A and B are shown apart, each in its own frame.
Chain A
Amino acid sequence: MNVFIVLIPMLLMSAVFMEIRVIEMSQAHAGQLASARPAAPALQLSLCVRGDAYVLLGTGVPALSFPRSAADRTGALDPAASRGLTDALARIVAAHPENHEIRIVAESQTRYQELVSLMDLARAAGLPEAALEGVSEGA
Chain B
Amino acid sequence: MIARRQRGRRRRWASRMRGHTGLSLTSLMDILTCLLFFVLKSFVAGGESTVPPPGLKLPSSSAERAQSTSLVVAIQKDAIFVGGERVASVEEAEADHQMLIAPLAERVKAARAQMDDIALQRGRLPLKSHLVTIQGDSDIPFHVLQKVMYTLDQGGFPDIALAVLKKA
Contacts and interface: CB of A to CB of B under 8 A. Distances in A.
Contacts, number: 145
Contact of B161 (A23, A32, A113): A23
Given A1-B27, A23-B161, A27-B158, A113 B42 contact: no
Nearest to A6: B34
B4 to A, nearest CB: 32
B157 to A, nearest CB: 8
A14 to B, nearest CB: 12
A50 interface: no
Contacts of B99: 31
Interface of B: 23-24, 27, 30-31, 34-35, 37-38, 42, 50-52, 58-68, 99, 133, 136-143, 145-147, 149-150, 152-153, 157-166
18 contacts: A1-B27, A5-B30, A12-B35, A17-B42, A18-B165, A19-B166, A20-B58, A20-B67, A20-B166, A21-B66, A21-B163, A22-B66, A25-B160, A31-B153, A75-B59, A111-B142, A112-B140, A124-B62
